[in-house]
Structure 1
Amino acid sequence: MPFVLAAVAFRKALGAFDWVKRHYVWVMRVGGTMMILTGVLLLTGAWDSLVAQMQTWSNGFTVGI
């Protein structure tokens, strides 16, 4: 049974990789823009404020498992 599930998951992953291959240029542009934005936020110190705000938002969150 694990091998059947692995084969199904692998087949679905190939479909996702196919989408990435078709849109490779846009994936690279979005990824590069996100890296530049993160770098600017780190340099300006705004990253720390953003992370602190997200920690307060998720303060009461518990995992359902």
Structure 2
Amino acid sequence: MGLGLPFVVVAVAYRRALGAFGWVKRHYVWVMRAGGGMLVVLGVLLLTGIWDTMMGSMQTWAQGFNVGI
């Protein structure tokens, strides 16, 4: 049971992932356009310096974060 359980879990996860990959295959053009659009937006944010401002504020916000474990 201890050795077989990880293989069963991987098989179930693989089966579910195939469904997600099927959706990506059907909508491949739109997935590529969305990814390209995000790259363009990120490039503009980097060129204008807004990205640095956003990252600085996020670092300040996350500075007080403590892991609960």
Q: Fold match, TM over 0.5?
A: yes
Q: Is 1:42 equivalent to 2:46 in the alignment?
A: yes
Q: How many residues align?
A: 65
Aligned to 1:30: 34
Identity among equivalent positions (%) equals 68
> Deviation string for 1:13-46 (max 9, x for gaps)?
1111011111111111110000001011111111
Q: Which 4+ runs in 1 deviate beyond 3 A?
A: none
Paired position in structure 2 for 1:55: 59
Report the CA distance shift for 1:61/1:20 in structure 2 as closer, same or farther (over 3 A). Answer: same
* Higher Rg of the two aligned structures: 2
* Secondary structure, counterpart of 2:60 in structure 1: helix
Say whether 1:8 aligns with 2:28.
no
